[in-house]
Structure 1
Amino acid sequence: MKTDSLARDLKSGKLHDILAETAEAAAELILPYWRADVEVLSKADDSPVTLADQRAEALILERLAAIWSSVPAVAEEQVAAQGAPETAATRYWLIDPLDGTRGFVQGKEAFTVNIALIEKGRPVAGVVTAPALSTTWRVSTQGAERRAFGEAWRPIRVRERPADGVALLSHSVSDEDAERLMRQNGCAVWQGMDSSLKFCLIAEGRFDVYPRVGPTSEWDTAAGQAVLEAAGGRVLGGDGQPLAYGKSGFLNGPFTALGG
């Protein structure tokens, strides 16, 4: 297909269906490795990688290329093996086949499959699937949606910030930094959580803010940001502007994901 067919598929909603089906197929591939005796290797940056990461990424890349062959992809394991592109294309996929690998190998549930479409530096479509939770969140033509595997889609929306708002934070944050970030963002309590699942739980109105001060890669955030923004939320960089994509090295600085 030519690239302009992607624009038609995005407008019609066909693209959203294909992304969800692809992410859930990757989840099905990943699950047999979860809580199993899977070999864990170290990448150049000392982050872990498993056969589940690699096989899921290969499946996603193959399916997307078969339909939209002219759209390039920036995918985590591909970048680890070959290096990141020097510049970003106007339109490309950002893929993290298994976000939260450390928790995955420890048998935790908060790991996700992430696929996003970037156009002119903005995430315009995205899907996040949590294999262990049998749940998918996606951008749709009407906003944002969630479904349990095999069930119907239902719309989701951020909630208005309550007086006792709840912050979601990475488990890597110290208790001292967590208390500081919680107060800075006007929240009464905080909860630790891994992976892009944080964006989705804010998008469906269960939590309120996710501040991040440590570095992340763009494929860690793009799909979750797309879902959260479609649900009425925002993801702001350190400059107060919406978090943009195609930065040097495909790396993010500090950001804050916000609900209502």
Structure 2
Amino acid sequence: MTDDLALARRLADLADPISMRYFRSDALGAETKADGSIVTAADKEIERVLRAELASAAPADRVIGEEYGSDADDTGAIGSRYWIIDPIDGTAHFASGKSAWSTLIGLRVGETVTVGLASAPALDKRWWASEEGAWVAPNGGSAVRLGVTDVDGLAEVRMGMWPVGKRLNESQRRVWEALSERVATVRPTADEGGSLREATGNVHGGLMVAEGLLDAYVLLGGGPWDHAAIVPIVTGAGGRFSDLEGGTRVDTGAGVYTNGKVHDEVLRVIAAAL
């Protein structure tokens, strides 16, 4: 295990008991942020604790978190190493007592995210990746190496997408409709609710690609904390990540996760729709 992965695991070990202490409790302190998303006392406490641990364990590294932003004046001018944290990905689920949420921790070195970890203590499950590969295990259980599917034709693809329905803006709707017409299935359907999380109980569509449960997942909006931890897990499982134009930065908002074999086809459909 690399030192960086060991530190990511230590951060997750700090986060999990905090999130579980708040989960399904009366002390959530849920609030609505300016962008309409939910934040809880757990989100804030986890990020504060992880920032403090990183300041002690890796003082030269920078941090970007969903709740407290970047500790550098300009994220484009940040140092060569920075940790990207989503203290609770899926806060709406967390706040409503549903189990499909996780803490996401990624380390970007230069232009590459080298370590990723997603911990879902309410599901007793953890995913991680480094240069040694990508793995999944129940917390404390035996690890199983992750691997993507071999599907190589768009017409056979099982795809996840988010957002759907009324949450889509005009350009996102065009992408959603164009892809829906070309693939075998799309989750969620109109009958399953507003997110893949609701439709499947899984914490992130990218992780479903890494586990071979989906062939592709398109997240049409999000921050770097929504992508960073997931990217090395998907690529370590043999898959591919890019933004909608094929670039590999995690801070452009949207992300496309695939088994690699259908990636270019997915990007061509997206480009034609935009």
Superposition TM-score, scaled by structure 2 size: 0.78
Q: CA deviation at 1:49?
A: 0.9
1:87 aligns with 2:76: yes
Q: Deviations over 1:91-129 (max 9, x none)?
A: 211111111111211222221101111122321111111
Aligned residues: 239
Matched, 1:201 2:208: yes
Letter in 1 for 2:236: A
Structure 2 residue runs of 5 or longer lacking an equivalent are 189-194, 261-274
**Partner amino acid for 1:16?**
L
- The structure 2 residue matched to 1:133, chosen from 123, 131, 147, is 123
Report the equivalent of 1:217. 223
Normalised TM-score (structure 1): 0.82
1:188 partnered with 2:180: no
**Conserved in 2, the CA contact under 8 Å of 1:22 and 1:63?**
yes
Q: Counterpart of 2:258 in structure 1: which amino acid?
A: L
Letter of the structure 1 residue corresponding to residue 184 of structure 2: C
Secondary structure in 1 aligned to 2:134? strand
Cα distance in structure 2, aligned partners of 1:115 and 1:35: 23
> Is the Cα contact below 8 Å between 1:238 and 1:253 reproduced in 2?
no
Identity percentage of aligned residues: 28
Deviates more, 1:94-103 or 1:41-50: 41-50
Amino acid across the alignment from 1:193: L
- 2:86 touches 2:226 (CA, 8 Å); kept in 1? yes
State how far apart, in whole Å, the 1-side matches of 2:99 and 2:204 are: 10
The AA in structure 1 aligned to 2:160 is L
Alignment of 1:106-255 (within 5 A): 106-161=96-151, 164-170=156-162, 172-174=163-165, 177=173, 178=176, 180-184=178-182, 186-191=183-188, 192-194=195-197, 197-213=204-220, 215-242=221-248, 244-245=249-250, 251-255=251-255
Once the two structures are TM-superposed, the CA of residue 227 in structure 1 deviates from its matched residue by 0.9
User: Alpha-carbon deviation of 1:147?
Assistant: 1.1
How large is the Cα RMSD of the aligned pairs? 2.5
Inter-partner Cα distance in structure 1 for 2:164 and 2:6: 35
> 1:46-81: CA deviations, max 9, x gaps?
32111100111122112222211110111111129x
Q: Which amino acid aligns with 1:20?
A: R
> Which ranges in structure 1 are unaligned for 5 or more consecutive residues?
1-11, 246-250
**Structure 2: distance between partners of 1:201 and 1:86:** 29
* Deviation at residue 180 of structure 1 after TM alignment: 4.0
In 2, are the aligned partners of 1:24 and 1:136 still within 8 Å (CA)?
A: no
Q: Secondary structure at the match of 1:125?
A: strand
2:20 aligned partner:
31
